[in-house]
Amino acid sequence: MTQGKESGVQGVAIFGATGSIGVSTLDVIARHPERFRVVVLAAHRNVDVLKAQCLQFKPQYAALVDPVAARQLKQELTAAGLMTEVLSGAAALDELAAHPEVDTVMAAIVGAAGLSSTLVAARSGKRILLANKESLVMSGSLFMDAVHAGGAQLIPIDSEHNAIFQCLPMQSKSIDYPQPGIKRLLLTASGGPFLRMPASGLTVVTPEQACAHPRWVMGRKISVDSATLMNKGLELIEACLLFGMSASKIDIVVHPQSIVHSMVEYIDGSVLAQLGNPDMRTPIAYGLSWPERLFAGVESLDLVRAGALEFEEPDEQRFPCLRLARQVAVSGASYPAVLNAANEVAVAAFLNHQLSFTGIAALVESVLGAHCSTNVSTLEHVLDVDQWARRAAQSNLDTHRFRVSGAES
């Protein structure tokens, strides 16, 4: 038996440890050392932050995808007298995701890079705290089949999906969806920093403006996705897969206060909502401790101080990424993988000042229009589709059709 299982302490691996989700996960874990033990900390290349985390939590393993960064981390941890074993490369993440001392995997690597290790965790029967929506969006039923086959526990960490999870009947909290009695799901969206900006203003917004989210503190990529509403579109696709619901039974509601995180409407007219301050430690703590609840360090919600709670329909004319994602959710097959890959290329180009904000949706739509749908049945097939979409998106960028100059139209 492993140390965690012998002592009743849950062994946790955090993939994406240096990002906002990883930092919040460690904050929750630090409050409950009697419940959790950090076995693995993994990131891409951020040596300084990962080193500080290792010194505090003393994991058995640390991993960096970048081999140069991994060598530096190993040298610095050795000099500090820490016995943590340092691994490098994407294959190391797969190995650690299946490690017998790991009970729970926080899957928080941003983008397609997190897919392989998350699939390994599913096949290995781990509790997966899914914060990397791209893994599920890309692989669809392939991922859910791996969860079933491996006997894994899948708990969504996105605040919206976690809210839905909390609003479902206790007996339904398994991977055996859909459940009877549910009429529709309502995913809330903050609307991002440009909710009230006229369409003409969207053409000239900067990466700095797009990353300044009014409610949440997030990484740059997900901040841009929130600003374009692509993040909500990806969540729509994810919700279809997680909860076994068709896209026609999932509505998006703009809620600028980010107090109501999502809702479930039942056929008897009841609507159950999960409310709370916009703090990712709430869904993280619930995922770590489910079906129990733990103190997460989150400030109590003061509804009087919060004031009015507003709701409105999203404007898919000004934010076409949401329209594209809904179309992809209906089409299924390989389209979600194409949407995700093209969006990652487009967002990276925007952040590098190579593409305008409105050019993100235009570029994604162009790649989707050039794609011939196919079923994705293996990881290799998913990755092939992903690479095709990235090449197509980059080719469009290289032709200067979508450059900042305004030629995105």
* Tens-digit pLDDT profile for residues 275-292: 999 999 999 999 999 999
Q: If pLDDT is split at 50, 70 and 90, which confidence band does 172 have? A: low
Please give the pLDDT value at position 404. 58
3-156 shares its CATH topology with 333-398: no
Residue 301 DSSP code = P
Cβ burial 163-186 (10 Å sphere, 16+ → b, else e): bbbbbbeeeebeeeeebeebebbb
* Tens-digit pLDDT profile for residues 7-25: 689 999 999 999 999 999 9
* Tens-digit pLDDT profile for residues 307-331: 999 999 999 999 999 999 999 999 9
Q: If pLDDT is split at 50, 70 and 90, which confidence band does 154 have? A: very high
Pick the CATH number of 3-156 from 3.40.50.720, 3.30.70.100, 3.40.1800.10, 3.40.50.300: 3.40.50.720
* Amino acid letter for position 223: S
Percent of the chain at pLDDT > 70 equals 93
Strand arrangement of the beta sheet that strand 182-189 belongs to: 250-254, 182-189, 260-266, 271-275
3-state secondary structure string across 118-149: HHHHHHCCCEEEECCHHHHHHHCHHHHHHHHH
The residue among 11 and 214 whose pLDDT is bigger is 11
Q: If pLDDT is split at 50, 70 and 90, which confidence band does 110 have? A: confident
* Tens-digit pLDDT profile for residues 229-239: 999 999 999 99
The CB-side HSE value for 250 (13 A sphere, CA atoms) comes to 30
In the predicted model, is pLDDT for residue 53 greater than 80? yes
Please give the pLDDT value at position 249. 96
Please give the pLDDT value at position 174. 53
Percent of the chain at pLDDT > 90 equals 83
Please give the pLDDT value at position 407. 42
Domain boundaries, the chain: 3-156, 159-320, 333-398
Q: If pLDDT is split at 50, 70 and 90, which confidence band does 4 have? A: very low
Strand arrangement of the beta sheet that strand 10-15 belongs to: 85-88, 61-64, 36-43, 10-15, 104-107, 127-130, 153-156
Mean pLDDT of 35-64: 97
Q: Give the pTM.
A: 0.90
For the structural domain made of 333-398, what CATH number should be given? 1.10.1740.10
